[in-house]
Amino acid sequence: MFKGAALRRFTRRGVIGGAIVTACLAGLAVAPAQAITDMSVTLRMSTTTDAYGNPRVAAIYTADLPTDSGWGYLYNGGSITVNCYGDDGSTRSLLFSTVHTMNTAQNLWADDANIHLSGFKDAPKGGLFNEDLDGTDEIYCTLTWRDGDGGTISRKTLERTGDF
The answer to whether residues 11 and 77 belong to one domain is: no
Domain count, the chain: 2
Quote the pTM value.
Answer: 0.75
Domain of residue 93, CATH code: 2.60.40.10
Looking at the fold, whether 55 and 18 belong to one and the same domain comes out as no
Asked whether residue 7 falls in the same domain as residue 87, the answer is no
Q: Does residue 55 sit in the same domain as residue 119? A: yes
Q: Does residue 82 surpass a pLDDT of 90?
A: yes
- Both 126 and 79 in one domain: the answer is yes
pLDDT for 3 equals: 58
Long-range contacts, 84-89 (Cβ 8 Å, 24+): 84/43, 84/59, 84/121, 84/139, 84/140, 84/141, 85/139, 85/140, 85/141, 85/142, 86/129, 86/131, 86/132, 86/137, 86/138, 86/139, 87/131, 87/138, 87/139, 87/140, 87/159, 88/131, 88/132, 88/138
Whether residue 118 is predicted with pLDDT greater than 80 in this model: the reply is: yes
Give the model's pLDDT for residue 19: 45
Give pLDDT, residue 159: 95
Classify residue 35: in a domain, yes or no: no
Range of the domain at 12: 1-30
* Same domain assignment for residues 48 and 19: no
Residues 19 and 53 in one domain: no
Structure confidence at residue 112 (pLDDT): 87
